[in-house]
Amino acid sequence: MDKIKVAVIGAGGKMGTRTSRNLITKFPDKFDVKLVETFAPAAERIREQLGREVVPVQEALNFADVVVFAVPDTLIKKLSAEYVPMLTPGTTFIILDPAAAVAKELTLRDDCTFAVAHPCHPSFLKWQKEQEAYLDRFGGEGGHQDIVMSKIQGDDMKFELARETAKCMYRADEVFVMTSEQIAFLEPTLVEVLGACCLHAMAETVDEAEKRGIQREAAVSFLTGHILNLSANFLGYLPGKPPVSDACKVAIGLGDRLVLRDDWRKIWDDEVLQKVIATMLHPENPQI
């Protein structure tokens, strides 16, 4: 079977490095990969770590069946306007975050297929039996993880090509396919506006516990153990679905008022999500 020809744009960045390494080193019989990186230090890292030379963008785009667009979200509008017109008709183009697509900032073409592929990262509820997997907290380097994907537009068979490429470049167990808007509800709404905000507040409270003379290791153990237990409880992963204590229920209600605010659920509104995305992509012009 012919190899899938992949071009990674931004191959020296955080996501570009991970995805490139997996395609090249873990699936050498399945993919033929060309790497594009314009930042000189990053290009040098590619030479040192992968033994590969970067190539000009036009060469990579002419070569590719699949383009992995591993550039920062804030640059997708500018760079897609430059690079998408250079694509060969029939190319499959993968971006790694839905924000630019939902905000209509991604340049599209009717003769190409466009997709979003984003990692879930290794879940503490997913079994990580190998030591390498357990120590990979980001994903793609041994940790068992899933990914979410959407077809923005294009051909279903070409989307399957995107799906196979994304599953390999993230070393994913499961691929959950949904709309770009649904992925955007997961991130930023679920895991950043709410999840990351709450977890950052928890980390700050660990710092406060340490200031109060509580051993840091004890506070971290207490916090993370309860996060696992409560997550399993609230998400239905404990046998019998036992309820939390009445006192905990009262504390949750107080937290709604003291921490989250009574109206925090407005982050679920589509209008708020659009304003959040616009502000994340253009923080110099906040919409919320």
What span, in angstroms and rounded, lies between the C-alpha atoms of 118 and 71? Answer: 13
Q: For the full predicted model, state whether its pTM sits above 0.85.
A: yes
H or E segment to which residue 210 belongs: helix 197-211
CA–CA separation, 119 and 138 (whole Å): 9
Per-residue pLDDT of the chain (288 residues; tens, 9 = 90+): 699 999 999 999 999 999 999 999 999 999 999 999 999 999 999 999 999 999 999 999 999 999 999 999 999 999 999 999 999 999 999 999 999 999 999 999 999 999 999 999 999 998 888 888 889 999 988 899 999 999 999 999 999 999 999 999 999 999 999 999 999 999 999 999 999 999 999 999 999 999 999 999 999 999 999 999 999 999 999 888 788 899 999 999 999 889 998 899 999 999 999 999 999 999 999 988
Q: Give the pair of three-digit tokens for residue 220.
A: 């971290």
Rounded CA separation 164/172 (Å) = 10
255 Cβ contact list (under 8 Å, min separation 6)? none
Residue 240: per-residue pLDDT: 84
What confidence score (pLDDT) does residue 22 get?
96
